Amino acid sequence: MAEPVIIGSERSEVGLPVGVEVLRRGGSALDAVEAAMRRCEDNPDDHYVGTGGLPNARGEVELDASVMTGSDRRFGAVAAMRGYPNPISVARAVMERLPQHCLLVGPGAELFAAENGFARAELLTDDARRIWRGQLTEAGQRAGDSVEGENTAAVAGDRRYREAALDLVRRLAPHEGPWGTINIMALDTSGELCVGVSTSGYPFKYPGRVGDSAIPGAGNWSDLRGGGAACTGRGELSMRGGTARTIVDLLARGSEPADACRLALADTAALPDEFRAELRALALTPDGRHGGAAGQEGSVYAVMTLDSTEPELHPRVAL
Ligand code: ASP
C-alpha cells in the first residue's frame, strides 16, 4: 500500500498542514481534502476561493466546488452558490446525503445547504469589493469612451454599467499575483484517492456562469484505475477538453503524471479560443506518484507526506 500523501495547487499551502494532520491520525482522504480545503476557503486574503473570493460582474460572490472519490467514482458538487463560505463541505454533503444527484446549482444548492445546517455568511470582503469596483470603473471608462460621438456623461448609468460589466466578462482578466482555483488531492492508508476542487471562478464572470471546478471530467476526476486529476485556469478550455478525465485515462494507460498533464493541456491548447488564458493541471496516482503541468513557466504545486514539517513546492512542467 502506498504512503499517504496530500498535494495541492498554488496557495493550497495554507490548508495542506491541516489535511496531512488528518492523514497522520489515520483519517480518510476525503476528510483530509475537506479539512485542507476549508482552511483555504476561510482565508480572506485568497481572492479565488470562499470568503474573499472575487465576485461576478454584478458584485456577487458565486462559488463552485466538487469532490470525487476514486474507489467508487462518487461525485458531489455545487455551482454558482451564494452565501455559504465552505462549498467543499456542501459538495461533500451532496455526495453523501443526496446520492441520487451529483450537482446542485444556485438557489437549489443554497436550499440544500440551509436544510443541512450550513451557516450563511457574507462572502464579499471589503478588499474583494475594492478590486471589483476598481476593475468596473476602469472598464466603465473604456466602455464610456468607446461610445463614439456621444457625450459620455450623458450615457445612462445603467447602460454604462451593463457595458462595463460585459467588458469585464469579455476580458476575463485575472488579477496580479498567484491566482486560480485550488485543487487538493489526497491518498490515505486504505488506498482511497480523493480529489477536491474549490473556486470563486473567473473574476467578474457573467452571473450564473459555472466553471470546470464543478464539472466531472473537466476540472475534477478520480478513478483508482488511473489516479486523480484536477485543473486550474480557464475552465471553458478544460470543459471542452474533458481535461481531468483525459489525464486519468492517460495515467491508466501508463503515462507518468507530469506527462499525462502536459499531453492533456496540449490537447486543449489546440482548441480555437479567443479568450485564451492559462490552464494548469495536477495529477496523483494510487501508488503515490504526482506531477503537474502549466501553460507557462514557473508554476508549482505543493506536497506533504506524513514526515513533512511544511509543504514542499515542486515545479510543474511547462507546455
Ligand atoms: N477554473 C476556474 C474556472 O474556470 C477559474 C480559475 O482557476 O481561475 O472557474
Q: What is the pLDDT of residue 202?
A: 87
The pLDDT-based confidence of 250 (bands split at 50, 70, 90) is very high
For residue 280, the surrounding DSSP H or E stretch is strand 279-284
- Is pLDDT above 90 for 136? no
pLDDT level of residue 278 (50, 70, 90 thresholds): confident
For residue 37, pLDDT over 60 is answered with: yes
Residue 12 resides in a domain: yes
CB 34 within 8 A of CB 92: yes
Which residue type sits at 258?
Answer: A
Task: Calculate how far, in angstroms, residue 233's C-alpha sits from the geometric centre of ligand 1.
Answer: 4
**Banded pLDDT at 1 (limits 50, 70, 90):** confident
Confidence (pLDDT) at 154: 44
Query: What number does the ligand 1 atom closest to the CA of 210 have?
Result: 9
Task: Quote the pLDDT of residue 247.
Answer: 98
Assess whether pLDDT exceeds 60 at residue 248: yes
Number of domains the chain is built from: 1
Would the pLDDT of 49 be above 90? yes
The answer to whether position 23 is within a domain reads yes
Annotated catalytic residue, options 125, 137, 152, 181: 181
At residue 81, does pLDDT exceed 50?
yes
Let me know if residue 193 belongs to a domain.
Answer: yes
Q: Which atom of ligand 1 is nearest to the CA of 179?
A: 8
Residue 256's pLDDT is what? 98
- Whether pLDDT at 142 is above 90: no
Mean pLDDT calculated for residue range 145-153: 46
Residues 6+ apart with CB under 8 A from 111: none
Q: How confident is the model at residue 274 (pLDDT cuts 50, 70, 90)?
A: confident
Asked, for residue 52, whether it belongs to a domain, the answer is yes
Going from the Cα of 277 to the center of ligand 1, the distance in angstroms, rounded, reads: 10
| 99 pLDDT above the threshold of 60 | yes
- 305 catalytic? Reply is no
Is residue 246 domain-resident? no
Q: Is residue 49 part of a domain?
A: yes
Calculate how far, in angstroms, residue 219's C-alpha sits from the geometric centre of ligand 1.
9
Question: Per the domain annotation, does 315 fall within a domain?
Answer: no
DSSP 216: B
| Range(s) of the domain holding residue 187 | 5-122+179-226
> Do the domain assignments include residue 281?
no
Once rounded to an integer, what is the mean pLDDT over residues 32-45? 97
- The residue assigned the cell 444548492 is 109
Per-residue pLDDT, 277: 75
pLDDT in tens, 83-95: 999 999 999 999 9
Q: Which residues have CB under 6 Å of ligand 1? A: 48, 180-181, 199, 201-202, 211-213, 219, 232-233, 235
- Average pLDDT over the chain reads 90
pLDDT value at position 153?
46
> Mutation test of ligand 1: which of 175, 232, 268 has the most ligand atoms closer than 8 Å to its C-beta?
232
Task: Give 42: exposed, middle or buried? Use CB within 10 Å, 0-12, 13-18, 19+.
Answer: middle
d(Cα 271, Cα 279) in Å, to the nearest integer? Answer: 12
